Every structure is written in C-alpha cells, then in structure tokens.
C-alpha cells in the first residue's frame, strides 16, 4: 500500500475554546524546561467530550486535553484520572501516548489539563479514505487486529501495575446498569424515548460477571492510531478518560454499539462514526467470536452486552444533548444527538426481541 499521509486535521480553536498561550508557556517553562521554542496551538475538531488541542513547542508536537467549557457532568471529564491511567500503562501497553505533564491548577487554563506526546499516524473516521486502497482482505485483517489489541489490554494484570484503586470490579455489571439508568433519567429531555423498557430488561437479564480487567470504555476505530507506513498496524490507542477496572465483556459490548454493519437500518447508518460498513469488515458477531476465540472464552448469547452498549451510548449522547437542549453549549453538532438517542433505543429493542448482535 505504501506510506499514507492522512494526519488528523486541526484548525484554529473554536470561539470560546481558545487557550491562554502566555499562561501555558509559563507552565511548560516551569514543568518541562527541556521543551524549548515558541508555542503554537490548534484544535482537533472531532469528538463530543473533552477538548483536544495540538500544541507545537518548537519541533515537538504535544496533545493537550482539558474538559469542555461550561457546565459538566459531575463524574465526567476527570483529567487527573486519565493522567493516572496513561502514567500507569505507559511502560506496559505499547499503544499509550507518552505522558508529558499534568496541571491541576485551574488558574492556568481555567480547568485541569494534561499534555502527552502526539502519536503521529492515521485515524479512521466515518469513511475509509480512498488513498488507502484497502482490499476486502485488508479491511478484514485490520478489524481482527483492532479487536486483538482490545483483548491485549484486557489481558494486562492491573494488580501488578498498581491500578487496583482505579475501580471496584465487584458488582461492576450491576453498578453500570443502575448508574446509567440514573444518569439517563436525570438527563432526559421531553423529545427522547424514556428507555424504561430497555432499563428493565437489562436489570432482569444481568449475567454473572466474567472477571475483571483494565477496560478502556470508549474503544473504537477513531480512538485507534494506525502506522502510516503500514495502515494494518495499530500504533496507538487514545482517549482514556473513562478507563476503569471492570468486566471486559461489558467493554466489548460498549465498543459494539459503534460497530454499524452494512445492512443495519438507515437510522443506524446515519449515526455511524467509523468505517465498519466497508466491504470485508467483520460483522458484530464476528468481532465477538474473534475476541472470545483469542481469550479462550465462551458466551452463548452476547445480546445483553450489545444492548448494554447501545443503552450506554444513548446515555452518553443524552448527557451531551441535555447541555445543548438547555443552552449550556452552542456547538451545532450536539443538536443532532437527540435523534441518535431515538435510533439507539430502536436498535436496543430490536436486539432484545430477536437476540441478535
């Protein structure tokens, strides 16, 4: 295929989301005097959660993460937590961006933030770039490798890495269902489904936990970085803000919610974020089998985990949409999330009724 140059595009920061260059320069001079040169700041425009910026310091390229401006969910956007995860995994999981500096002093940029070294590579978004010239076999192999890296994360021993305090694995499944149910109800707006039937079904069909592992909680194609010289090779995994210790099958179910197939209904096609409809891409069932086969696990029916993933994704979308609905943010991208919640509720009901993944 040859080397592909498709860097994730940046642009000037959105109005109201600019960073104070002078204060950031002072912070870096104190914390990382080895980084020399003038600072230039651009923003990565994608994403609906934490804000992400490209910070050039001389010849160095760093990525800065900070919470969104405006009112935030109480438990979300924990910069220190994400920093702790990166620091703990940086020498044990080869796909982690190198952590550079953390700042908990809100007087610097108005909120806690951290910087990490940029992993330069290819990030796949909604549609597969033509420049890749992927064959069906290439796409299939890439899907397998993305799934295998997910399983590789789950196979790490979080106790040996000193990450026991990151989460409480006992009762994780129960807490996820009750927690997301509470968060959805609290964030519900009058124009979206109530999800009460889905929540009741999840509570009634909770399986026994299948162990505990470090879970990413937002693992998907557009959080994976590929090698420009070999686009079938994963070189990075990004966005660790929701990582915790929990049931790895719940993590896989959360990922499947994003995995739209070519024959899914129009509503699901409309909210697709990643190129999983390309010829050769694994189906959701094939993703499950690829994961379980490599892990040596057997699960007779994966429906619960997929429905959970759809409901959880709806909860995330609804929390963001709530802020837009009530005028707390003006980003026009958020205005479409109410429709996405409707689509996800329909998909969850279909899976519940037909026991399909």
Of 16-25, 249-258, 260-269, give the lowest mean pLDDT range. Answer: 16-25
Residue listed under structure tokens 């124009």: 191
* pLDDT tens profile 222-236: 999 999 999 999 999
Look at residue 30 and tell me whether its pLDDT is greater than 80.
yes
Alpha-carbon gap, residue 77 to 75, rounded angstroms? 7
Tell me the C-alpha distance between 41 and 250, whole Å. Answer: 37
How far is it, in rounded angstroms, from Cα 134 to Cα 123?
15
Label residue 292 by pLDDT band (50, 70, 90).
very high
User: What would the mean pLDDT of 271-279 be, rounded to a whole number?
Assistant: 96
The token pair at 197 is 């039937």
> Based on the number of CB atoms within 10 Å of its own CB, is 339 exposed (0-12), middle (13-18) or buried (19 or more)?
middle
Return d(Cα 157, Cα 213) in angstroms, integer: 7
pLDDT in tens, 171-221: 999 999 999 999 999 999 999 999 999 999 999 999 998 899 999 999 999
The CATH 3.30.200.20 domain(s) of the chain lie at 21-117
**Going by C-beta distance under 8 Å and a sequence separation of 6 or more, which residues neighbour residue 188?**
194, 318, 322
DSSP codes joined into one string, 188-250: --TTS---HHHHHHHHHTPPPP---EEE-SS-SGGGEEEETTEEEEEEEE---TT-EEE-HHH
Q: What is the pLDDT of residue 73?
A: 46
Contact 82, 49 (CB under 8 A): no
Residues of the chain with CATH 3.90.1200.10: 130-354
Q: What's the confidence (pLDDT) of residue 45?
A: 79
Q: What is the pLDDT of residue 104?
A: 92
- For the record, the structure tokens of 254 come out as 């959360």
Domain 130-354: homologous superfamily in CATH:
Aminoglycoside phosphotransferase (APH), C-terminal lobe (3.90.1200.10)
Q: What's the mean pLDDT in 295-302?
A: 90
Class of domain 21-117: alpha beta
Between 145 and 12, the more confident residue is 145
Number of DSSP helices (H) and strands (E) in the chain, helices first: 11, 9
Average pLDDT over residues 19-40: 92
Position 338 confidence tier, pLDDT thresholds 50, 70, 90:
very high
- The whole-number average pLDDT for the span 11-37 is 90
pLDDT of residue 1: 52
Confidence of residue 244 (pLDDT cuts 50, 70, 90): very high
| pLDDT tops 50 at residue 48 | yes
At 5 the pLDDT is 47
Q: What is the mean pLDDT of the chain?
A: 92
């Amino acid at each position: 295929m040859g080397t592909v140059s498709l860097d994730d595009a940046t642009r000037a920061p959105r109005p109201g989301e600019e960073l104070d260059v002078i204060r950031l320069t002072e912070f870096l001079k104190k914390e990382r005097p080895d980084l020399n040169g003038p600072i230039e700041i651009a923003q990565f425009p994608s994403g609906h959660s934490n804000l992400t910026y490209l910070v050039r310091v001389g010849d160095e390229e760093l990525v800065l993460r900070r919470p969104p401006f405006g009112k935030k969910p109480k438990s979300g956007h924990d910069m220190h937590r994400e920093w702790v995860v990166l620091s703990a995994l940086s020498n044990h999981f080869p796909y982690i961006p190198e952590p550079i500096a953390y700042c908990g002093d809100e007087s610097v940029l108005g909120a806690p933030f951290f910087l990490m070294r940029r992993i330069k590579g290819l990030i796949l978004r909604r549609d597969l770039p033509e420049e890749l010239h992927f064959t069906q076999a290439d796409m299939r192999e890439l899907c397998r490798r993305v799934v295998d890296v997910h399983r590789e994360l789950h196979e790490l021993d979080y106790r040996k890495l000193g990450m026991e305090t990151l989460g409480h694995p006992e009762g994780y499944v129960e807490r996820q269902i009750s927690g997301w149910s509470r968060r959805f109800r609290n964030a519900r707006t009058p124009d979206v489904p109530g999800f009460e039937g889905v929540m009741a079904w999840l509570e009634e069909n909770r399986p026994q936990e299948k162990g505990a592992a470090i879970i990413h909680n937002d693992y998907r194609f557009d959080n994976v970085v590929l090698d420009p010289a070999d686009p079938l090779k994963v070189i990075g995994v990004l966005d660790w803000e929701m990582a915790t210790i929990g049931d790895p099958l719940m993590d896989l179910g959360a990922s499947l919610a994003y995995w739209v197939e070519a024959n899914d209904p129009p509503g699901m096609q409309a909210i697709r974020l990643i190129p999983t409809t390309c010829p050769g891409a694994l189906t959701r069932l094939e993703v499950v089998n690829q994961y379980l086969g490599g892990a040596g696990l057997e699960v007779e029916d994966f429906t619960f985990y997929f429905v959970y993933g759809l409901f959880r994704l709806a909860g995330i979308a609804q929390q963001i949409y709530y802020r837009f609905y009530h005028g707390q943010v003006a980003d026009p991208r958020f205005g479409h999330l109410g429709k996405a919640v409707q689509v996800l509720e329909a998909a969850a009901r279909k899976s519940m009724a037909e026991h399909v993944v």
